[in-house]
Amino acid sequence: MTAMNGSGRGREKWKYLDNVLTKAGPFTDPEWVPGQETIDFLECSKILVVGAGGLGCEILKDLALSGFKDIHVIDMDTIDVSNLNRQFLFRQADVGKSKAEVASAFVEKRVKGVKITPFNGRIQEKDADYYMQFKMVICGLDSVEARRWINDMLVGMVGETEESLKPLIDGGTEGFKGQARVILPTITSCIECQLDMHAPRAAVPLCTLATIPRQPEHCIEWAHIIAWEEERKGDTLDTDDPEHITWLYQKALSRAQDFNITGVTYSRTQGVIKNIIPAIASTNAIIAASCCNEAFKIATNTNPYLNNYMMYSGDDSVYTYTFEHEKKDDCPVCGNLAKDMEVDGKWTLREFIDKLAERPEAQVKKPDLRTNEKTLYVQSILGLEEQTRSNLDKKLSQLVDDGEEVAVTDHAFQFTLRFRLLFKR
């Protein structure tokens, strides 16, 4: 054992891992060979962690303590004082600094021998060559949009070689509830296949936002939906851009003061705009442990990995449930069929767009719509928006035929949603 572990006490602190890595167990593959080769493969596996917030901090710590030595982390956020109650790698003196950089330095200091490379920026700033270097990707995100983007990137990278397939391990928490899932792009159900499990938030009536706001959230939504459209029409709102969030916060705060409403803060504005649900530290710890456990199993083959979805609930008691989420043939990312959608031919195109935003399997915010024959409506290009605006008040039956396919794109995503519209009889 001494020879296998390196000279002397070099692996003494990893003896709990070596109990798993140096001998076969009841669930190991018959052809699996324990020992130094497996240890070396674990240590040289390059892992990308997306997000360094509440869940990401836990994931970085768990990966480092699980024997991974080459970790990269990407996050564009800076540390806010509100993060300190649950994002345990940060201290008061770190407020205003990069989450990715501070988290990396903290873990490197506490776990000797691990190398963590931070990137302070958006995932969209990196191309396929960047993501191709990693053994797998682990997401600890608070944004459905970001999950959909990285999922589309990894599915699109899959080619003829085994190395092009990068497993995606995704964790998410909502209060006392959470989930962990393992995705093999193009092989198993992907993020987009499972999108209907992330229900969009309930809409607030526009009349409430415009005339009688009663809660700080109403003021924030007013700034988001009405003020932005009136004062910055043509600018695409980026919910990850601090300048955009600051602008919305200042507008919401001014409106709240006009109606004697308290409670509008920068962090609350960010939470409402990005649909962030307050996190519970213990839930983050449990879901992060599950994600890192799956990463360890994939990297070492010591046990079968999750197939493919685990749900956790800790509000009433402690409950977990695992199941296989099925791959969908009509998935816009990993499938090849259009999704059937029943519509009322009497709906206007404007009403149809509103309903797209509400549907769990779509969740688009500023869609462009086209058929094979014509363009129905384009929001992303100002000149085309003016040319196609008149279609908004036309009925669907005037614009498309029963059974015709409509392609829906959104600037936030790289892929196209395809729906086959079936008129109600």
Q: What is the band of 1 on the pLDDT scale with cuts at 50, 70, 90? A: very low
Do β-strands 339-343 and 46-50 pair in parallel, antiparallel, or remain unpaired? unpaired
Q: What is the pLDDT of residue 46?
A: 96
Average pLDDT over residues 259-270: 91
Q: What is the pLDDT of residue 202?
A: 56
Residue 5 has pLDDT above 50, yes or no: no
> How many percent of the chain have pLDDT more than 90?
52
Does residue 207 have an active-site annotation?
yes
Quick: pLDDT tens for 349-370. Answer: 988 988 887 777 777 778 889 8
Indicate which residue of 190, 207, 219, 291 is catalytic: 207
What pTM was estimated for this model as a whole? Answer: 0.74
Q: How many helical (H) and strand (E) elements, i.e. helices and strands, does the chain have?
A: 16, 13
Quick: pLDDT tens for 10-38. Answer: 678 888 888 899 988 888 888 888 889 89
Q: Which of 232-246, 329-343, 353-367 has the lowest mean pLDDT?
A: 353-367
Look over the chain and give the mean of its residue pLDDT values, rounded to a whole number.
Answer: 88
Q: Which two tokens stand for residue 266?
A: 């920068």
Residue 50 Cα distances to 10, 139, 238, angstroms? 31, 5, 18
Triad 100, 271, 352: Cα angle to 5°:
120
Quick: pLDDT tens for 148-196. Answer: 899 999 998 988 788 999 999 999 998 899 999 999 998 999 998 888 7
Do β-strands 405-410 and 367-370 pair in parallel, antiparallel, or remain unpaired? antiparallel
